[in-house]
Amino acid sequence: MLAGMVTVLSSACLLLGAFLIISGAVGVLRFPDFFTRMHAAGVTETLATTLILLGLMLFAGWTIVSFKLLLILLFILITSPVASHALTKAALHGNLQPLVNENNEQ
């Protein structure tokens, strides 16, 4: 009974993570400028990777593999937002300006 629930939860995490990766890839392709693309890539990488690694940890059970996956998850949760922020700051430092929407101009 419990093993079946863990399998279903693991599968749900893996499927939702895969869906988020696909939707993030569509966002990177469709968004108009660098900054919105960076947002799509950064958020997708962090959330989708978290879900996929969580699903793999549930699937592996309480083993050394789960511990290694947890370390990978912690590394990604620390480095991914920092890398996105550094790329965005570098783009601003290089005088790349965000696109302004004509209908919502501020």
Domain ranges of the chain: 2-93
Rounded to the nearest angstrom, the gap between the alpha carbon of residue 86 and the centroid of all alpha carbons in its chain is 16
pLDDT of residue 1: 81
With CA atoms as reference, report the closest residue to 98 among 39, 25, 21, 27: 39
- CA dihedral sign, ordered 67, 70, 76, 81: negative
pLDDT of residue 2: 82
pLDDT digits (tens, 9 = 90+) for 61-86: 889 999 999 999 999 999 999 999 99
- pTM across the whole model: 0.83
Q: Give the residues of the chain that fall short of pLDDT 70.
A: 102-106
The single residue listed with the structure tokens 């799509």 is 40
Burial class (CB in 10 A: 0-12, 13-18, 19+), 32: exposed
pLDDT of residue 106: 53
Query: What Å distances lie between residue 41 and 17, 20, 24, 97, 104, CA to CA?
Result: 13, 10, 6, 18, 24
